[in-house]
Amino acid sequence: MGVHTRGVIQLNKVLFGPAGYPSEARGNVKHVFQILTETGMTALEYAAVHGLKTKEDKARIIGELAKKSGISMSMHAAYYISLASKTLRTRESSKDRLVKALRFAPLMNVKRIVFHPGYLGGLSKEEAHVVIRDALRSVWETAGDQSGGAVLAPEIAGKLSAYGSIDQIIRLCQDVDGCIPTIDWAHLYARSQGEINDKENYLKVLTRFENDLGKLFVNNMHFHISGITFTEKGEVAHRPLGQDWGPDILPLVEIVRECGYKPTFISESTNPLQGALYAKFLFEELEIGSK
């Protein structure tokens, strides 16, 4: 897809970064990028989860700082996007939020707009797919050519009642131009009731995405990582990485290194910067151990 030709692909290395600004920065945007640089981070997912409220001049400052710091930028759009809502007004406002995110992307040097498509809105799975697919096609037709190479990145959902299974995300990316998948491994761990937690099951998931989406997936791997708690209905809460909560990401990091994949790892753990540092540590330890 031509949309991936303007800086989206960074095949030379695996990237690591937090979701949202490090708490130590206290909202000071210059301090944000200073902390990321000092800690060896190479990515940041800008948190617009309560709506994209940044003004254009501030967005440009963020974009310039990201370029100067060598930080690869993505954005997490609003949590309350619901493209298959029972309410037409909610559907339209959800589309508007994604359009705005695409238009702001070039200002912020953002290359991926991560979002949850939402719940089924009382529709069947097939009906919801059609509504969500058509909504995203409309979003892309409206603002895709204004995105500066940014793409829409629908995410695996943590709750079983939400739209966002492996099948649904793959199909969405097949049916809509400008879409690549975001694999949230904690959400998959919760959806699978703890099953996707070892090398064999990680490989099954990656193989499925690669077989169905090919280079579109392999060249644009975007992963979310975190510890998580769950019930039979799916996710409950995010937790720290590398402690008492699953999933174990070491087998995933091993696969990434062994297969030569170049994903972006975004930590959504309760301390996102600490989680990103943990993932980076695991990867670097494997690199050292192989020499």
pLDDT in tens, 118-163: 999 999 999 999 999 999 999 999 999 999 999 999 999 999 999 9
Strand 234-239 and strand 227-231: pairing? Answer: antiparallel
Cα–Cα distance list, 244 to 20, 105, 240, 277 (Å): 23, 37, 8, 17
- 207, exposed or middle or buried, with CB in 10 Å at 0-12, 13-18, 19+? exposed
Q: For 51-90, write each residue's pLDDT tens digit.
A: 899 999 999 999 999 999 999 999 999 998 999 999 999 9
First to last CA, the chain: 36
**Bridge partner list, 227:** 239
pLDDT at 5 over 60: no
The CATH number of 10-289 is which of 3.90.1150.10, 3.20.20.150, 3.40.50.300, 3.30.565.10? 3.20.20.150
pLDDT of 199 > 60? The answer is yes
**pLDDT at 8 exceeding the cut of 50:** no
Residue whose pair of structure tokens reads 């996707």 in the numeric block? 196
Whole-model pTM?
0.94
Is 254 within 8 Å of 199 (Cβ atoms)? yes
The answer to whether residues 275 and 267 touch, using CB atoms and an 8 Å cutoff, is: yes
Q: What is the pLDDT of residues 221-279, one digit of tens each?
A: 999 999 999 999 999 999 998 888 999 999 999 999 999 999 999 999 999 999 999 99
Torsion of CA 183, 80, 42, 261, to 10 degrees: 10
Q: Describe the strand order of the beta sheet including 110-115 as a list of residue ranges.
A: 43-47, 72-76, 110-115, 151-154
* pLDDT computed for residue 290 by the predictor: 67
